[in-house]
Amino acid sequence: MDLDLRDRVCVVTGSTAGIGLATARLLAAEGARVVVTGRDSERVDRAREEVGAALGVVADLAEPGAAEELIAAINGLGPVDCLVNNVGIAYQASFDELTDEQWDEMWQLNVMSFVRPTRAVLPSMRERGSGVIVNVSSTAGKRPSTGMPNYSVTKAAVLSLSRLVADLYAKDGIRCNAITPGPTGTGAWLDEGGLADQQARRSGNSREQVLESVAAGRPLGRLAEPDEIASVIAFLCSERASYVTGAAWSADGGTVPIII
């Protein structure tokens, strides 16, 4: 299926690994002019080469002003047609042990790093009367994870932000949607010290037992592959989804038992 993304300028934040990298790779394969971003210059360079991206930009979007610098850096490619907000972090913690600083840090990285790029691309999108924004939230935004309190709250905020932007700017031809993946086979879960190891330490189970339990908790019986999430994101970026806005698309193997 042709997604009609050829030559579209698509910015994917947090695209040096995991879902972001898979999304950038797929959009590039569809002919889009992809911009990859991240906080580490070496990882950005590797991602740009792997994806065949038009540009790689080092940016810490948790910092004020970074989003405007990112958009200014890609002006030579043309105005942004699609923005995929994917920056984020997750870790295991109990509600009563989280500090104010941890809440603040998570808010800046998981919410404001979506707000700032969105705000930066809106003027040109409104002027042209078109544009697409896709925000990567989580199942934890729909049903909070008790083991990841601050992550859950920030991902719920991403859902609210997505609906807000959709309502405000539909009249300008701008679509905004969210996607809510469940546990996915990326470094966030599988790397040494990642969520599987963290949960194993907190539960007293082995890493293998944790991964088996997490997989068994999905009706489809397994973790997602990054490309499976990227496929939904690419669809939402495309003209095939031209009448879809304000939605929170579950891509979680049936994890959250709701019908919206």
Active site residues: 151
Neighbours of 169 (CB within 10 A): 19
Maximum separation of any 2 CA atoms in the chain, in Å: 55
Beta strand ranges found along 81-136 (DSSP E): 82-85, 131-136
Q: Cα separation of 159 and 46, whole Å?
A: 31
- Count of CB atoms within 10 A of residue 39's CB? 16
The torsion angles phi and psi of 9, rounded to 5 degrees, stand at -85, 115
> Distance between CA atoms of 167 and 245, rounded to whole angstroms?
9
Helices and strands per DSSP (H, E), number in the chain: 11, 7
47-51 — which CB contacts under 8 Å span 24+ positions? 47/15, 47/16, 47/17, 47/21, 50/21, 50/25, 51/15, 51/21, 51/24, 51/25
- Pairing mode, strands 174-181 and 248-251: parallel
Instruction: List, in sequence order, every beta strand (DSSP E) within the chain.
Output: 9-12, 33-38, 55-58, 82-85, 131-136, 174-181, 248-251
